Every structure is written in structure tokens, then in C-alpha cells.
Chains A and B, each alone.
Chain A
Amino acid sequence: MKTLIIFTLVLCCFQSTFSQNTQTFGKGNIKGVTVNASSNASKGIKTLMSTGYIPNPKASSRFLSQATLGPKLSEILSLQNQGIEPWLDEQFAMNPNFNLQNYVQNMHQSMVDSLKLQNPAGNYTLNNVFIDDWAFDVAWFQANMVSMDKLRWRVSLALSQIFVTSRISAFDNNPYALASYYDMLNKNAFGNYRSLIDSVTYHPAMAVYLTYLNNHATDTLAISTTNQTKKKVFPDENYAREIMQLFSIGLFELNNNGTEKKDISGKSIPTYNNDDIGNLAKVFTGLSWSHSRYLGDNNNVNDWSYTKRLKFFPVDSSEKYTRWWANPNTWRIVNGHEPGPKTFLNQTIVARPVADGQLDIRDALDIIFNHPNVGPFMAKRLIQHLVSSNPSSEFIDRIASVFNNNGIGVRGDLKAVVRAILLDPEARDCCAEKENTAYGHLREPFLRYMNLINGIGLTNQSGIYRNVMVDLYDRIEQKPLYSPSVFNFYQPGYVPGGPLQAAGKVGPEFQMLNSLSFSNYMNALHKWIISNDPIEYWSIFNNEFYKSDQEPKFNITADYVLAKDNRIKEFLDKYNLILAQGRIKAENMSIIQNVLLSMPITFDINGVPDPTLADRRLRMGIFLIMIAPDYLINK
């Protein structure tokens, strides 16, 4: 079924380009294969699929703009030879090879070592030398400069915006918490969704963020033998609500194609009510730090506490420790985990001894995992992040079906889901956008930055980069794990006013676009490319020797020759391809070209352009490309 759909679209596109006598089909180009519109469908598709899609440069760039954080020219060219499916196989085969937490710790250790060198008498250790949250950003940026598993990093960035935790929280200056959580996302990005929600649930960064760390069973007993006032404490509902609303099933029952089911009166059907929340809240009780001695123990919490899987406490025995001096008979020992059955989503987790409370958590995650909403819910979110804000219901249906069953009976296989999204005709096809005027998505500000870093090919000698991205966040209000709330930087159902609203379409990333962020973006771009200041280097300790190599600038000297009037078009075409996938329309290319041509240029006796003037022309060109609406909407 799926291959047939691909082939139909292939043919339609092939025909449209055949008259130009090229071998391009869709955005793909088949080497040494002759296919024409009358080919037998199944034979044709087999021929095509034996090498997979071999894309032309624009298609190659377009694919990489969805599957990575932005292509380099060399990657575009190499994908053209390799083909998309072999590239995917290669990417999926790579293990996560960059551990952020290790990188943070190494940086931390080098701070300690350097301070010791400076002052041998000082007692410096990892525990008493402070390292700030920007160490995580340095590590994240480094990883993205050197890692080959580009697809994984693209997917984990999307996951970080679905399973949101954020440094705008109690761990605002702990890079270990952020790194450990992100490593967990990387590890699970191509794994199973069920393992992912287990890892998310047991991660301290999430437990602190959504306040279920030290969450306690209902307690309505007397405060003590001497104070008969009754307690009135109930389990925290925060995680119970958000895991269902934001991480798995959403507020309303869905069809497999992502549309909302309706009751007989035409109304959407809520997936849960407040009683479900109260019951699920009881499940997530009894979890504390790995080093805790009792439920509620917040002693000895350090940076590393946030990197270790939560520990389960069936019973609240805190008075053993907080009133150790008292007669044990007066200790108030109560349930930590809520006893009794818990009913939610029309299913009941049976009553079991509180000692087995982790089985409640397991069962609850199973119930959530097996809810029919998860497939369409996750399919839509991942498509929105990688490809397009308004996928057709057919597209969602196809991906949700892969989520439901990867072909060999496994539910929740994220690798299969990612592959299916990127190979789907609606993602690959050149024609879809003609029929769907809401195709594509607004590139979010942080992606624009990474597009620029990759597209211009920022590089240095040492291969080590130190980019704290602090000023970047102040300007564009986005970088990994810095969401203003659990609702992410923007919401998947956000509808901007104007034509999208009139058409009943969403534009999630538009939630971040306004007159202020628009000028902030332009001025950030100005700083990065016009002022050539793309990286923000900070010393990691006082009197550190400045390592200028770790703060590289964009070097575009190789392009200077293209600054000549008669070659400016070549230059713009090149960066249109790399940054905008060749999508900037001719009228806009001439507007940009005219600006560049009206900037002064002089030549030496050999006809070589003056480097300063050439540099300015080219930087202005890149700046304007990245302001153009046909760059900003990636379709």
C-alpha cells in the first residue's frame, strides 16, 4: 500500500520534469536507471528502491533540512551519491557516541585541575568548584559540531520539546541534570516509546520539574500522638496530568489519523476527567532521590543526584531519621506509596502491597502506552517537528499505524516511526505543497542558528568549540532545555491569526513570532553573520588562557571570488541551496542580488576582489537569504 502511494507520486513528478530531459524524479534523481511513465508499477518501484531515493541537490538539501539540524554543502553532495535509505540505515546503525554528561564532567574536572595548578594549596574538588548550566550548552554545541549521528540529534531535539523539562526550574544552574536528561533522550531516540516514558518517569530532572519527587500517599491521620489535628495531604497531581496531556494521549480521544473522535452530539470526547488525574497521581507516589534514606529526604542533594534513577520508597519512615532520638513507638510510620486500587482511563490497577508499588507505576505506564491515542499523538508531534505543521490525516494515519505496529508486531518502535516519517511520500514528495498551501513549517529560531552554523561550515583547527549560547538565548529565547514551561516554547495546536487561522490550520512555531522577536532575530543574525560573531566563548575559570581557536568565526574567503558582479548569482544560488534548499524564488533572489550589486567592489591588478568589500557583499547576501519568507518557511 505504502510503496504504491510513493510510486504514484513518483510518476506524477517524473512526468512533470521529464520534458526537460533530466533524470530527476520528484526531488530525486535516479542514476543509470531509465524509468518512464508506462513502466510497470511494481517493477519500477523495485528498481528505484534497490538504491533508494537518489536525490538531486535540492532534494538532498531538503531531506537533510528535515533529518538534521541543517546541512553542509559536503553533506548535500554526499547524500546525492549515497541515497536516502542507505543514509538512514547508516544513521540508525550509529550508537549515541557523544555523552553530554561525560563532556560536562571532563570540563568540570579540567576546571578543578587548572585551579589546583594555579593554587596547589587550595582544596579544589568537583564538589566545591561550581560549574554553571552553560556547560551543558557548550557540550551540546560541541556534540553537534563533531557527531556523525545527525539524525539522532535532530530527533532528540524534537523529543526535548515534547517530553519537556527545563532549566527554568529548581535545577537552573545544574548542567549535569540537563546533560543526563538529554543523554537519556539520545539513548531512547531510536528505541521504544515504552522505554522512553519509563526513563522519563524515573529521571530526577523530570521528577523535580513536575514535582513528583518525594510525592507522598494520601495522609489524613493525626499529626502526632500529642497533636490530634488531622493532616490533609493528597498526592501531587502535576505529573499525572502532564504525562497524559502532553507526553502521550492528549485531552481528547483521537482516531488513528489524528482527528478527534466525536460523540453523538458532535462533541469531542475527553480522554480523562479529574478523577482519573487524582487516581493516577496516587500511582506516582513513593519516588525519591537514589541516595535518599527515606521518602522526603532532601539532604545531600548535589549536581549528580540529578543523574541517577529515582528510588522507590513504599513507606514513609522519615521519623526514624528526623526523630531518631525519640522513642521508636512514637515514630509516625505511614504509607509512602498509596495503597489500594487505582482506576484511570477506564482501567484498574489492582490493589497490591505498597512494597510492590513500582508495579503500579509499570502498570500505569503500560495503560498509557497502550492507549490508542499514543500513535496518532506522537505521529503528529514528530511530523510537526521534522516536516510540516499541518500533515494530512492520511500521513498521520500511516505513521500512527507504524507506531502501533512496526511491521513485526512491535508497538512504539520510534526508529520505525522516524524512518516512516522521513520516507513518507508527503515528506519526500515535491507535489504535496502544491495541493496543500499550508505545507511546511516555520523554522524555529534555534534551528535557524544551527542552519547557519552548519550551512556556512563553521570550523576550526582543534575541533573543540566553546559556545555558551547565553547571549543567543537572550536574543532568540530558545535553546535546548530552556523552555518557559512544560508546554514548550510553542504549542502544537497554536493557530496564528491571519490566513492560517482562516484556513483552519495551525502554525506552532508562530507562537514565537511577533514584532519584537522578529527584530531580535534580525539583530541576532546581524551579530552572527554581519559582525561575524557566531560563538560566545566564556572562560571556565579565572585567568584561564584564552583559547581563540575555540571561538571560531565564519570564514567565507573561498567564496570571495563569487563576489564579482558576474558571479554573485552563483554565490546566492549556492547559499540558497544550502540554507533554503533552493526554495527562494527568483523575484527574491533578484532583490537580494540587486542589493549586493549596489555595494561597492574593487579588484586588484589580477582581478581578485578586494577581500573586505567581497566579504561585506557576501555577508549581506547570507543575511538577506535568512530573512526571506521562503527561507523561513521550510517546505
Chain B
Amino acid sequence: MNRRNFIKNVGCGAMGSTTLLSSLTSLGALNGLTNFNKNAPGEDYKAIVCILFSGGIDSFNMLMPTGTTVNGDNGFSEYLALRTDLAVAQTPSSFLALNNPQCSSFRGQNCAYSAFGVHPQMSGIRDLFNAGKLAFMSNIGTLIEPILTPNEYQNSLKKIPLGIYSHSDQIMQWQTSVPQSRDALGVGGRMADILNANNANNGISMNISLAGKNVFQRGQSVSEYSISDNVDPNNVGLQSFPSWWGNQGLLQEMRTNAIDSLVGQTYSNLLQKTYSATAKESMASFEIFKEALKRVPTISTTFPNTSLAGDLAAITKVMSVRQQLGTKRQIFFVNYGGWDMHDGLLGGLNGKLPVVSQAMKAFFDSTVELGISENVTTFTISDFARTLTSNGNGSDHAWGGNNMIMGGAVNGGRIFGAYPKMDLSSANNRNISYRGNFIPTVSTDEMYAEIALWYGVSPSDLCYVLPNLGNFYSYAANNYPIGFMNFNQSPISTTNHPLGCLNY
């Protein structure tokens, strides 16, 4: 008795059996294809890649002002005076210059400077930026509604994110974009709820995680499928019995069947239910994933030997078999942690930022190789930015900061939002602490809304994906939330999948 028949016979849950069967059928249908990894002209495929920098990256040491014009753009001097022993360099020429970054203004906040550079270890990022494939967003953070002045914050005239400055809350809120709640679904999960219907095959979740369980990918009807960075068919699912046992095949099948049955039983205890649901879904996915991975082509882009690059390389491999997986929309999640640099900040950044830069560059190049660079948009998130002032050898928790968006469909080479002034005086209406903590100017909602519109979420479905978005933005033709995506190849979707607006 083979596995397929077994499941059919014992009928262990309608969901498990039908999805598995339909998946195997569609796999069979694709067997004749040979060159599926290349993007066929007009292929409807889009992927979002979320890179989490867990711990709170000191992003004002990733993107820095470089101006030294007294009474003009004197950004570097202001940076140096504020960051003191945390300044990455004593001269602006040490930074890697960004060509004409066009930092302008956002919601009444002016960009404080015009000349910028990135950390000396980020040449890959500099190259992507200057080639127009990467944009920065400045002073972005968790917000429920716009906060325009320190007074509005200090006197709670506007709603303040729950657990502000706390890792656990802020890391969650960057993933949910619902800072007033501790039990919201994730942005990626809610997008998947809307768009999952586009995928022919639901054997493998469209949300694939390289970082295990995460809030970002959790939706109402979609949850993540976790994989390891070792994307190899022999590394999926249950390992074989020792050869000396004999009858390996039969034993394996019996064991698999028994596990399917055990986790397929009905349980009344909610913890048992939750466990068996994950186990059942996983058991059903292993076979499909394993089969698909047998078709991964040789990828010639070289990835560095780092954990982040390994994770991103794994994503490239999975995207290369998107047709075998029967998926047109995918959302990937990666975590590269270790940014909580209360101590050893400069050395820490010297160690980690090149990893980021090289990995992201290699990943972009690999999407070019697969012919899908315009179909894949990658962005970075982190708990929060860090205090501008030093605690001796590091920085502490703050709020608004800078992040990156990368891809062929990104209007790269620009800094969006409004880079704040390196100034802790009362003249700076972004600052709320003697330590240098900035109120974000751009909300996570606005960034996600722009990505969602590009990804194919219709304007009327945005209120499901981003419950607070109405506080910042409402859709009108050619009026995009921020402007960092290029919509030429991606017309705004008119297909609504109404799930109703969410309220928290």
C-alpha cells in the first residue's frame, strides 16, 4: 500500500488527503516541462521577501549624512557631534557615497540633508542603490496614527504603540503593523489570506519561512511552512531506517502511515489539536516539497558562506521550482539576528553589515539569473532603531529608523521618507529623549501598503491587510503611499477578495 492510497483509505481528514492528491496530480502534469526555472514572458509570479534584523539595528549607523557645509548641509558634523564614540568614521569620505539620493520630504517633515553615504562595509548595497535597484526609507517605524510633535507623544494626544521600546512588542508590531494589539495577524499572513486563491496548489503554504514560526507570515487561513537552508530533497521529512534493519521501504511506509493516523485523530484538548494540526500539515507537505526540490536547477550566482546568504540562497532555490510547487504568489521570511548592540556596537556592525550587504547583493543577482528580478521585492525590518547617543560602547532602544527595499520593480536610488536632523534640541520636532529617540515620520503601514498594491492586493482589500492604514493614506489612482515601487509592469489589481476590513 503506498502512502497516497493509505491516506485515501483511512480518510484522515478531508483537507490532508485532497490537497496531497491534487498536488501530486499537478506535479505529474508538469513532468513534461524542462526549463521551468526561467521566467516565461508574462508569467504571473510575484514574491515578497522579508528580512528581519532581530534585536534592533542601529540604522543611523547604516545610512549617514555626509555633508560638511557650515551653514548648509552640515549633516556629517552634526552626526559626529551626536554619536561621539559611536560614529562609524571621523571623516565623511570613509562612507560609501550614494549618487544623488533625492531625499525630499514626507508628511510635512523635510529631509534634513541632501548628501548621504552608507557604512563602509556595505559596498554591495551602495552598488544596488546607485544602480537603481535599492531604495532607503528614512525614519520609519511603528505608528497607529501620525504623530507630528513631541507634545502629541508626551501628552498621549495620539495613540502610542503598546510596549514601545520593548523588543518583544516592537518586533511583533513591525510584523503585524497593528501596534495597538498583541494578538494581530501578520502583514504577510493577511496578504496571503487575500491572494492565496491565485495559487493553483495548496500543498505547500505560499508563506515559506527560513526562521521557523513568526508573526509576519501568520494569516487567518494561511500559516508558514518552515524549511531549513539546506534545500535538498534528501533533507526533507523523515529520515530512513538503518539499512541493516531490512525492509526499509515497508517500515518507512508503515511508520509514516502510523504518524499520519496519530496526528490525524480527533482531539478535544486544544493543545493537542494545535499540535496535530501542525504535524498533519507538515506530514502532507514533506512529500510535495521533496518532489519539487528534485527539480532545482544549477544556480551559478555565488552566495557568501554566511547564515543570511544561506537563507537567501535557499529562497532562490525554492523560487526556481515555483512552477512545480504550483505557486504564483510567495512570501518568504528570513531572520538575521544579533543587532541588540548595547555593547560593542562599532565592531558588531563591522561584522554584520558586510554580511547583509553581500548576501542581499548575491540574492538580487540570483533573481536576475532566474529572470525574475522584477517579480521579487525584498525589504528589511527590525524591532526599532537605537539611541543616537552612546551608553559607553553601544546604544539603547529607540524608535524610528531606516530600512531598505530592493528589487527590479523598486524605484531605487532614492531615499524615501524624511531623514531626520541629527539634533536633540527642541528645534527638532522628531526627538523625544535626551538619548536621541525619534518619532517615526513614515509608518510601517505606508510601506506595507505600497508593497501590497504592487503584490496584487486591490485597493479595497487594503483595509484587511492593514487595519490602521486609513489613518495615513487612502487610495486614489496614481497616488501611491510612498512612491518606492514602480507600477508600470504591475497595474493595480481590480480583483477584490473581500474578507472585510479588520479592526483592532
Contact = CB atoms under 8 A, between A and B. Distances in A.
B430 to A, nearest CB: 16
Interface residues of A, number: 82
Interface string B176-205: 000000110000000000000000000000
B433 interface: yes
B85 A233 contact: yes
B295 interface: no
Given A516-B212, A620-B255, A245 B166 contact: yes
A274 B164 CA distance: 9
Contacts of A229: 84
Interface in B242-266: 242, 245, 247, 251, 254-255, 258-259, 261-263, 265
B432 to A, nearest CB: 9
Given A241-B165, A519-B236, A526-B239, A588 B213 contact: no
A537 interface: no
Given A233-B391, A441-B271, A599-B251, A519 B237 contact: yes
Interface stretch (A33-41, A110-118, A374-382, A490-498): A490-498
Contacts of B255: 595, 620, 623-624
Contacts, number: 207
A633 B275 contact: yes
Interface stretch (A392-400, A451-459, A501-509): A501-509
B274 A591 contact: no
A514 B212 contact: yes
Nearest to B284: A515
A162 interface: no
B227 interface: yes
B224 interface: yes
- Among B218, B238, B277, B391, max chain A CB count under 10 A is at B391
B279 A517 contact: no
A442 B275 CA distance: 8
Given A485-B337, A515-B226, A633-B271, A236 B166 contact: no
A543 B286 CA distance: 42
Given A232-B84, A439-B269, A517-B212, A211 B258 contact: no
B contact face: mostly helix, strand, loop, or mixed: loop
B207 to A, nearest CB: 11
A629 B258 contact: no
B282 A519 contact: yes
Interface in A222-240: 229, 231-238
B239 A433 contact: no
Contact of A627 (B259, B270, B273): B259
B218 A497 contact: yes
A433 B272 CA distance: 12
Contacts of B389: 232-234
Contacts of A44: none
Nearest to B164: A274
Contact of A512 (B164, B169, B213): B213
Nearest to B205: A515
A180 B223 CA distance: 41
A583 B387 CA distance: 52
Interface string B370-391: 0000000000000000010111
Contacts of B343: 211, 236
A499 B270 contact: yes
Interface in A108-158: none
Contacts of A553: none
A231 B84 contact: yes
A281 B272 CA distance: 43
A517 B226 contact: yes
A29 B228 CA distance: 48
B274 A507 contact: yes
Nearest to A491: B168
A497 B212 contact: no
A530 B212 contact: no
Nearest to B218: A497
B277 A484 contact: no
Interface in B394-440: 394, 396-397, 433-435, 437
B271 A507 contact: yes
Interface in A430-450: 433, 437-442
- Among B55, B223, B278, max chain A CB count under 10 A is at B278
A265 to B, nearest CB: 11
B279 A236 contact: no
Contacts of A233: 84-85, 389-392
A442 B435 contact: no
B212 A438 contact: no
A354 interface: no
A217 to B, nearest CB: 10
Contact of B258 (A235, A270, A485, A591): A591
Contacts of A523: 238-239
Nearest to B242: A531
Contact of B342 (A236, A495, A499, A633): A236
Interface in B266-322: 267-279, 281-282, 285-286
Contacts of A635: 269, 271
Given A441-B271, A620-B255, A515 B282 contact: yes
A309 to B, nearest CB: 20
Interface in A211-257: 211, 214-216, 229, 231-238, 241, 245, 251
Contacts of A389: 271
A26 B147 CA distance: 58
A595 to B, nearest CB: 5
Interface in A583-612: 585, 587-588, 591-592, 594-595, 598-600
B138 interface: no
18 contacts: A211-B343, A211-B394, A233-B391, A234-B396, A245-B166, A274-B165, A484-B337, A485-B54, A495-B183, A499-B273, A500-B274, A510-B278, A515-B282, A515-B285, A587-B265, A624-B259, A629-B263, A632-B272
Interface of B: 54-55, 82, 84-85, 162-169, 182-183, 209, 212-213, 218, 223-228, 236-239, 241-242, 245, 247, 251, 254-255, 258-259, 261-263, 265, 267-279, 281-282, 285-286, 337, 340, 342-343, 387, 389-392, 394, 396-397, 433-435, 437
Top 5 A-B pairs, shortest CB-CB distance: A515-B282, A514-B226, A211-B342, A516-B226, A236-B391
Given A236-B391, A241-B165, 7 more contacts: A236-B392, A389-B271, A491-B168, A510-B275, A511-B213, A517-B212, A623-B255
